[in-house]
Amino acid sequence: MPSNWLAILWRLMRPPTLTASVTPVLVGTGLALQHAALHFDLFLAMLLAAVLIQAAANMINEYADYARGLDNKDMVGIAGTIVRDGVSPHTVLIIFFATLFISLGLGAYIAANTSWWVAVAGTLSMIFMYLYSSGPHPISYTPFGEVTAGILMGPVIILISYYIQTSHLSLTAVVASLPIGLLIGAILLANNIRDVEHDLPGGRKTLPVILGKERAIMLLQGVFVLSYLIIAILVVVQLLTPFSLLTLLAYPFSARIGAMFRRATNPSELQRAFTSTSFTLIRFGILLFLGLLAGAFLPL
């Protein structure tokens, strides 16, 4: 490992993507606080486990892309510690398994204090995480990557976070999880829009490759609108309190991302548009979390 190994390890985890693990845990816990007191130890264990599983997924994705010859020094984005930084593929695998082992321990702690069905859900998520990035036919190489990641990192994590606090599930939690799943799928869609020129010769059949860049950008904009619309509908039908409309404050940041992708003419501008998509998720998620906290503790 090179001397600046901490910085390289941080880049290997791909920090901009970790919003896709932090946000669902916050939202699931915020929804749970409408009905139950906070179990802080379970919240913290779930948050750490989700971040580590996301980081592990990024690591195995990096290893698999290198093994298939897709990564090179000229690629766009923050991936590529093997080809850019000289980290050996074997080292990446070791870090991947260590990260996965720690997350398994956290998952076992959560299951032991709640229900072993949580372990089943977590194990299935890990299996799909592996299939997403690796195996003979990775899901990330297909048009189904965004949907798979959106479901696993959105509704699944939100509902687990909700369940470990309340010991039950609810219709509100299921429906309220959908915008987060959509926005997580949007991160993957933005990633694939950014990488479309790189993926074409590599044989990937992602949504932007199938649809074309312009249609993919239009889809991205539609996903943003639908995410905010679902929250507004939940407030109108009184499944969420009006405090949840705080999420609308994030919409101006979402609305400009399509134009950022259309204007992008170089790798740094493409990366900036992708990073803005990641920040949209965390803005939306934090505002929704604050709205949920206000709904739980402040009278209307």
> Residue 216 belongs to a domain with what CATH number?
1.10.600
Other CB atoms within 10 Å distance of the CB of residue 256: 12
Would you give the distance in Å from CA 204 to the centre of its chain? 20
What is the SS3 assignment for 43?
A: helix
CA-based nearest residue to 194, from 143, 269, 83: 269
* pLDDT, tens digit only, all 300 positions of the chain: 455 667 677 777 777 778 888 999 999 999 999 889 999 999 999 999 999 988 888 888 777 777 766 655 555 545 556 666 667 778 878 888 898 899 999 999 999 999 999 989 888 888 887 788 776 788 888 899 999 989 988 999 999 999 999 999 999 999 999 999 999 999 999 989 998 887 777 678 899 999 999 999 999 999 999 999 999 999 999 999 999 999 999 999 999 999 999 999 888 899 899 989 989 999 999 999 999 999 988 876
Going 282 to 288 to 294 to 296, the CA torsion angle's sign is negative
- As a whole number of angstroms, the distance between CA 189 and CA 209 comes to 11
Please report whether residue 11 resides in a domain. Answer: no
39: in domain:
yes
5 assigned to some structural domain: no
Q: With respect to residue 9, please indicate whether it lies within any of the assigned structural domains.
A: no
Task: Report yes or no: 9 and 62 within 8 Å, Cβ to Cβ.
Answer: no
Amino acid at 226: L
Extract the tokens encoding 179: 């915008």
Q: Does residue 6 form part of some domain? A: no
Helix residue ranges per DSSP H, 134-266: 145-151, 157-166, 171-194, 196-202, 207-211, 213-236, 251-255, 257-263
d(CA 98, CA 31): 32
| DSSP code, position 168 | S
Q: Is the pTM of this model over 0.85?
A: yes
Number of folded domains that form the chain: 1
CA-closest candidate to residue 76, choices 213, 265, 230: 265
Neighbours of 252 (CB within 10 A): 8
pLDDT at 20: 83
What is the residue range of 242's domain? 19-297
Give a yes or no: residue 89 inside a domain: yes
Please return the burial class of 112, using the count of CB atoms within 10 Å of its CB with bins 0-12, 13-18 and 19+.
Answer: exposed
